[in-house]
Structure 1
Amino acid sequence: MIRFLAILALMTLPAAADPLRLLMVEKVGCVYCEAWDRNIGPGYAASDAGRAAPLMRVDIHGPYPDGLALARRPFVTPTFILLDGGSEVGRLEGHMTAAQFWPALNALLDQAR
């Protein structure tokens, strides 16, 4: 319930509230989303990437924040979509280990800069 309320609170923020945001598309029961939450999530907000692109979470079935411009609707969880003012810069789809996730996210952040 607390996680749901946190997701709901984040969804009330406008998509363009910050220049860069990382949208995590997830679904209840996704074992790969839970693995990300265990292995990467705890340190995300304190990381350089987390400070550059704060995390915003949404269920794959929506509702999505207003004003998003996505290349296509996500179809796999987790999907991480880097947003610049609400427009998609790039995405990471599917499960990644920490050793895969951080370099891939940093490449997206470099692309956005």
Structure 2
Amino acid sequence: MSSPDPGRAPRAVALAAVFGAAFWLASPPAAIAAELVMFTRDGCPWCARFEREVAPVYALTPEGRQAPLQRVEVRPGGDSRPGLNEPVVAAPTFVLMDQGREIGRITGYLGDDAFWGLLGKMLAGMAHPVQRTSGAASITERP
């Protein structure tokens, strides 16, 4: 019986890493195709309220896992990035994007109950809607 080649294990690990990285790079970004883009502005009191009431738990919710939150500063004079149905001029504005196109938007922030309810309606219109939690959409009910 021959002894194992000591250089074989590191080569196998290196090859596995190379093929794994190539597979990951070639995979389509479908797992995170949707995102919730929050258009914000410095000094915006409603943006600050959202950051206090919703942002700390957003990523922990089914909604946050389906559509991760991305923050973007509203450009002076409005923002008309590719994929938007119309320019964003107010802050905060939450735009649900799926595969680079706008699915829906929430202009303004009226509190966590209104936010979760409106976001749930937008997500329900997507190809793979998220299951809503039961009861009122309250920040205290989020995991």
The TM-score bracket by the shorter chain reads 0.7 to 0.9
Where 1:112 maps in the other structure, the secondary structure is: coil
2:143 corresponds to 1:108: no
Aligned match of 1:73 in 76, 82, 87?
87
- Residue 108 of structure 2 corresponds to which residue in structure 1? 94
| Among 63, 77, 82, the residue aligned to 1:49 | 63
Give the C-alpha shift of residue 38 in structure 1: 0.2
Q: Tell me the SS of whatever aligns to 2:39.
A: strand
Structure with more strand by fraction: 1
Normalising by structure 1, report the TM-score.
0.78
- Give SS of 2:109's match: coil
Task: Tell me the CA shift for residue 96 of structure 1.
Answer: 2.0
CA distance in 2 between partners of 1:36 and 1:86 (Å):
24
**Dislocated runs of 4+, deviation >2 Å:** none
Q: Which letter does structure 2 place at the counterpart of 1:88?
A: E
Map 1:7-46 → 2, pairs under 5 A: 18-46=32-60
Identity of aligned residues (%): 33
TM value normalised by structure 2? 0.62
Root-mean-square deviation over aligned CA pairs: 1.9
Paired residue total: 95
Structure 1 unpaired stretches of 5+: 1-15
Cα distance in 2, alignment partners of residues 70 and 41 from structure 1: 23
The alignment partner of 2:125 has SS state of: helix
- The unaligned stretches of length 5 or more in structure 2 are 1-27, 128-143
Q: What amino acid is aligned across from residue 73 of structure 2 in structure 1?
A: D
CA shift for structure 1 position 95: 1.6
Q: Point out the structure with max Rg over C-alpha.
A: 2
Does 1 or 2 have the higher relative contact order (CA < 8 Å, sep 6+)?
1
One-letter amino acid of the counterpart of residue 92, structure 2 = P
